Structure 1
Amino acid sequence: MTQTNEKNCPLSGVCNVAGTLPQCTTDCSPYISVTRRYKASQLPKDYTTTFMSNSPVRATQEAIYATLDTYIKSFSMDGVRIKNVYLMSESPGTGKTTTASALLNEYIRRRFMYYVKRKEEVPQELALFLDMTEWQNRYNMATMSKDEDKLDGIAKDIERYSEVEFLVIDDIGLRTATEAFRGYVHTIINARTTNSLPIVFTSNVPITELRNVFDDRLYDRVRDQCIELPFDGQSKRGRR
């Protein structure tokens, strides 16, 4: 017997035929389409099913999640600038990355339906997750080996991260980055702020320290349209 697919589909909460055969299967076109955009997001596997409603961080960061519950409504509003979000905690494991991932998942789901309802073409990439440590390691390997193909890949990354609608930058600290690498990150952030494209940052340093990483002008532009949310408590790793 064919099984319905509503438990696996991120659109089930807004779908009129969720749980109904013959429509609700893995062959459903919207399901296939939105799943393709999740796979393209580069989100780590551990976070692919994390949304604001089921995030394990919600119970320990209630005030932050109350703010973000309002914030995510802007994802499907007309004429509203979606702000940047800066999730900060000096302690690791307090839920910053989990929360940022939940926001990315919410953006893809809500923005996908936004385009569908407006009968507009849905962009092939709606949101991307940039693991800054991993990307910096790839950059270092490419420069040390002088691998032209890998360096070309970094250049293409810069273009993608600069232009995608919604970007998560995980671990923006960059304390040991080279001047050249910081310049690339500056290029991404500057392009996005210039074009009013939202960024969700996670960091273990206060937002004021971004002026030491970049310059005062870029720091002021990021902060101007930014919701700063400090996380409390100790590490909760292993509790997911």
Structure 2
Amino acid sequence: MGALIFIVTLFGSVLIIAYHPPFVQRFLKFFSSIQLLVIDEVGVQKGSESEKRILFSILDNRVTSKKPTILMTNLGIKDCGLVLGDRLYDRIRSKCVPVLFKGNSFRKPATPDVFD
């Protein structure tokens, strides 16, 4: 049995679609219906209030529907609250279990031949 998994990076840039009123309900319905939603780079965009409201709606719908969502960020706990805002951060903390990954970056430093 297959499952629909959707991985979104730089979620804020995807939210631009939702600024167009005809797309808002379709956008929310799509992201609320996916069986597993993975949102990477949470907090990178330092989103607008509109983006925070949309993300809150998506997470609220997913929590209500008991659908799993994975949020990934390089932010610390305190920074998440500052970037996401109290309302969204509270919703996430009430339903999520944080997992801390510690260690050195696996990315290698760029060298002049990186584009060769």
TM-score (norm 2): 0.68
Query: Given the superposition, is the C-alpha separation of residues 154 and 138 from structure 1 closer, same or farther in structure 2, using an over 3 Å criterion?
Result: farther
Name the CA distance, whole Å, in 2 between partners of 1:226 and 1:142: 25
Query: For residue 180 of structure 1, what is the aligned residue in structure 2?
Result: 50
2:92 counterpart residue number: 222
Cα distance in structure 2, aligned partners of 1:221 and 1:158: 17
Please say if 1:126 is aligned against 2:4. yes
Q: Taking structure 1 as reference, are residues 226 and 177 closer, same or farther at Cα in structure 2, changes over 3 Å only? A: closer
Q: 2:73 aligns with which of 186, 203, 221?
A: 203
State the distance in 1 between where 2:31 and 2:16 align: 18
Letter matched to residue 129 of structure 1:
I
Shift of 1:174: 4.8
Percent of aligned pairs with the same amino acid: 24
Q: Distance in 2 between matches of 1:167 and 1:200?
A: 6
Whole-Å separation in 2 of the counterparts to 1:160 and 1:215: 25
Distance 1:231 1:193, change over 3 A: same
Pairing 1:189–2:59 present: yes
1:153 to partner: Cα distance = 4.7
3-state SS, counterpart of residue 99 of structure 2: strand
Structure 2 letter corresponding to 1:157: F
AA partner of residue 6 (structure 2): L
- Note closer, same or farther for the CA distance 1:204–1:181 as it changes in structure 2 (3 Å cut): same
The 1:176–1:190 alpha-carbon spacing in structure 2 relative to 1, beyond 3 Å, is same
Q: Distance in 2 between matches of 1:142 and 1:224?
A: 26
TM-score (norm 1): 0.37
Which digits, 9 at most, give the CA deviation of each residue in 1:84-116, with x for residues without a partner? Answer: xxxxxxxxxxxxxxxxxxxxxxxxxxxx3xxxx
Given the alignment, which residue of 133, 136, 156 partners 2:12?
A: 136
2:107 is equivalent to residue 237 of structure 1: yes
Tell me by how many angstroms 1:177 deviates: 1.5
- Asked which structure has the greater CA Rg, the reply is 1
3-state SS in 2 of match to 1:230: coil
Secondary structure at 2:98 match in 1: strand
Cα distance between partner residues in 1 of 2:77 and 2:58: 17
Paired with 2:64 and 2:57, the residues of 1 have a C-alpha distance of 10
Distance 2:93 2:56 in 1: 14
Deviation at 1:163, TM superposition (A): 1.9
- Contact between 1:128 and 1:168, CA under 8 Å: does it hold in 2? yes
Question: What is the aligned residue count?
Answer: 107
Distance 1:160-1:229 versus aligned 2 partners, 3 A rule? same
Alpha-carbon offset, residue 219 of structure 1: 3.1
Cα 1:196–1:225 shift into 2, 3 Å: same
d(CA) in 2 for partners of 1:139, 1:221: 19
